[in-house]
Amino acid sequence: MPLITLDNIYLRFSEKPILDGINATIHKGDKIALIGRNGEGKSTFMRVIAGVISADDGKLKVKKNTKISYLEQALPQDNDKKLFDIVAEGLGEIGDLITHYQTLISNGEMDKAGDLQTQIDHLDAWQYLHKIEAILNRFRLNPDAILSTLSGGWRRRVMLARALVQDPNVLLLDEPTNHMDITAILDLEKMLKDFHGTLVLISHDRSFIQGIVNKVFDLDRGKLSVFDCGYKDYVKRKDDQLHAEEMANARFDKKLAQEEVWIRQGIKARRTRNEGRVRTLKTMRDSFINRRKKQGSVKIHSVDEDEKRVSKLVFEVKKISYQIAGIQLVKDFSMLVLKGEKIGIIGGNGSGKSTFIKLLLDELQPNSGSIRRSKTIKLAYFDQMRENLDPNMKAMDFVSGGRERIDIGGKSKHIIGYLRQFLFTGKQAMAPIRMFSGGEKNRLMLAKILSQPANLLVLDEPTNDLDVETLELLEEMLVDYTGTLILISHDRTFLNNVVGSTIVMDGDGMINQYAGGYDDYLIQKQDATKQQQKSKPKVQVKNKTTNHKKLSYKQQQELKQLPNKIEKTEIEIGEIQLQLSDPEFFQQPESQDALIRLARLEADLERYYEKWSKLE
C-alpha cells in the first residue's frame, strides 16, 4: 500500500492554477526529486503533502501512523534558542518535556526537575534524550550554541537535524543544500543515500540529485508527470516529451501557441550542451595549463610582450597574506588573472572566499604582498543579497531603470525581449516583484547584472534557488561571456560546465589553483597525493633481533596480529587506488569518501609498520 496518495488535487492562487488535477502515489523506499521551473509551485506541492496547507479540491490520503518530517526552504529567523532546544522541538510534546527538564537542571531547580523526571520515566522518554544528543553529534552541532550566532549553512544543518530526529517515514526536503559548502553537501548526500525511509526532495544541484534519487516528479504548468527512473534518464525522456509537445503545439493556432512554443523550444535547445561551447571551455582550460607552464620557466620578455601582457592583465597577485582576529585566511598566495578568464572559487564555510574577493576588489588590504589591478575594470557584482529589490517595482523597470530599451553588447533591445531570454513572459515582465518566487527574484537580479556594460563579473553563489532550466541558460551565457568571470559556487556541475580553472581554499590560509572545474580538481589532487606517496621513503621492516626486554603477553598477541592487519590494509589500499585510477570514478559521489578512506588507511599502515618495528 502507498504511504501517500494524491487524488485529483487542485489548488490555485488568485487566477493562476498551481496544482491542476494532480494524481500521484508515494511508496515506501521512493527517493523522489521534485523538479520544475521557479514559480511552478514545487514548494506549494510539498506543503500540501506535509499538511501545512490544504488543497482547494481533491483528496490527500496518508497511511495510518506515517510520520512526515518537513524541512522548509526558508531558514529560521534569528532567535536566542539553544541548538539542543531547537532540535528537540522536532519531537513535539516529548521534546518540549525534555527541554524543560534540561533547563530546570541547568537552573538548579532540582525539586521541579524531580517531578518532570517521574513524568519522563512514565513515558519511557529517556531514549529520546539520547536520540537528540546523537543527532547533534552526527551533524557536529554544539548543543549549547545559540542559533543567532550561526551562518546560513550551519542553520541549515540544525533544521536538518530537527527534521531527522523523529525518525520519519517520509522526509520532505526543500532546497536542503542552499548555503552549504561542498563538504557539507557531500556529507548530506551520503546520509540521504543511507536513509531507509521515503524521501521527496527539491533541489537544483544536479550532481546532488543524480547521486540520490530513483524517481522524478516533474511539475510543469500545474500538471505532474512521473518518471520512474533516475535523473539522467529523466533528462532524456523529458527531451522526448518536449519534442512531442512542440510538434503538437505547431498544429494549434500559431498565435495562441506562440508563447508556449517559445518557452518549450528555449528549454529544449539548452537540454543538450552546445558542442561549440564545450570546445570553448576546453580551450580556456588548455590556455590556463600552458600559462602555468610558462610561469614556471625563465623567460626574457621584450617590451612589446610586456605591453601586450599588461593590456590583458586584470589582476596580478603577488605573495599576499591576510589574517583577522588571529585567523589566517590567505597565506603567501600568488596568481595571475588575464582578460577573459573564468575562475571558480570553492572552500568550506568560513574559509575566506568572500574575504578573498574583497582583497581582489580593493575593499580590504592584504597584511603583506601586493595586488596589481587593471585600471580599466568595470565591475558587475552579484552577492546573493536581495536588499535592492523594491517589492512594488515592476520587474522590467528594475532591470532597465525605467527605460523601454537597453543596450546589450552594443545592440539596442526592448526590455521585454531581453527578459524573455531569462524565461520571463511579457506578463511577468510587467508584474510587481512581490509576485515572484525566490528563484524568480534571483533570475531577475542576474538579468540586471548581466545587462550592465561590465568587463569583470563577480558572482557570489548565483545558483541558489535557480531551477535547472535557468542554470543551463546561465551556463550558456557565462561561457559566451567575453569578459572576466570570478565565480563562488558550491554547485559541482555548474563549475564543471563554466570555469577554466578552480581556486580551492583549504583553510588555514592555504590556497591552490587547479585547471578545469570541480571534477578536474579532484583528479589533480589525487595525482598530487600519489606523487607524494611515491616520494616518501618506504618504512623498512627491520630484521628480527633479540630483545633485551621480554614482551608482555598483550604485546606478544599484538605482534602476532600485526602482519594480518598490514596485509588486509595493503589489499584495501590497492583496491581503492585501482578505483581512483579510472577518471570516470570521480564523477561518482563515492569518490570523495574513497579519498578520505584512502588517507585513513595509509595513515593506519604507516602506524602498523612503526609498531611492528618497535615490537620486533
Distance CA 215, CA 25 (A): 12
Domain ranges of the chain: 75-150+161-166, 235-271, 279-514, 537-615
For residue 314, the model assigns a pLDDT of 92
The mean pLDDT value of the chain amounts to 80
φ, ψ dihedrals at 217, nearest 5°: -100, 120
Residue 309 pLDDT greater than 50, yes or no? no
Helices vs. strands in the chain: H and E counts, helices first: 22, 20
Distance CA 597, CA 273 (A): 34
For residue 326, the model assigns a pLDDT of 81
Mean pLDDT, residues 531-540: 60
For residue 243, the model assigns a pLDDT of 73
pLDDT digits (tens, 9 = 90+) for 239-269: 877 777 666 666 554 544 455 454 455 444 4
Distance CA 108, CA 333 (A): 52
CA dihedral 323, 327, 329, 330 (to 10 degrees): 50
Residue 337 pLDDT greater than 50, yes or no? yes
**Of 408 and 306, which is predicted with more confidence?**
408
Residue 8 pLDDT greater than 90, yes or no? yes
For residue 292, the model assigns a pLDDT of 57
Mean pLDDT, residues 450-469: 84
According to DSSP H, which parts of 338-393 are helical? 353-360
User: Quick one: pLDDT band at residue 92, thresholds 50, 70, 90?
Assistant: confident
**Of 480 and 350, which is predicted with more confidence?**
480
Mean pLDDT, residues 65-81: 84
Question: What pTM, to 2 d.p., does this model score?
Answer: 0.67
In the chain, the percentage of residues whose pLDDT exceeds 70 is 82
Using an 8 Å Cβ cutoff, are 592 and 521 in contact?
no
For residue 277, the model assigns a pLDDT of 63
User: Quick one: pLDDT band at residue 536, thresholds 50, 70, 90?
Assistant: low
For residue 479, the model assigns a pLDDT of 86
**Of 446 and 70, which is predicted with more confidence?**
70
User: Quick one: pLDDT band at residue 585, thresholds 50, 70, 90?
Assistant: low
96's CB contacts (< 8 A; 6+ apart) are 88, 89
Using an 8 Å Cβ cutoff, are 463 and 347 in contact?
no
For residue 302, the model assigns a pLDDT of 31
Residue 581 pLDDT greater than 70, yes or no? no
Name the CATH topology of 279-514. Answer: Rossmann fold (3.40.50)
φ, ψ dihedrals at 374, nearest 5°: -65, 140
537-615 CATH pick, 1.20.120.790, 3.50.50.60, 3.30.1490.20, 1.10.287.380: 1.10.287.380
Q: Is the dihedral of CA 85, 89, 93, 95 positive or negative?
A: negative
For residue 270, the model assigns a pLDDT of 47
Alpha carbon separation from 469 to 84, 275, 449 (Å, rounded): 39, 18, 19
For residue 212, the model assigns a pLDDT of 93
For residue 327, the model assigns a pLDDT of 85
Q: What is the largest CA-CA distance in the chain?
A: 99
pLDDT digits (tens, 9 = 90+) for 119-174: 888 888 888 888 888 888 888 888 888 888 887 778 888 999 998 888 899 999 99
For residue 504, the model assigns a pLDDT of 92
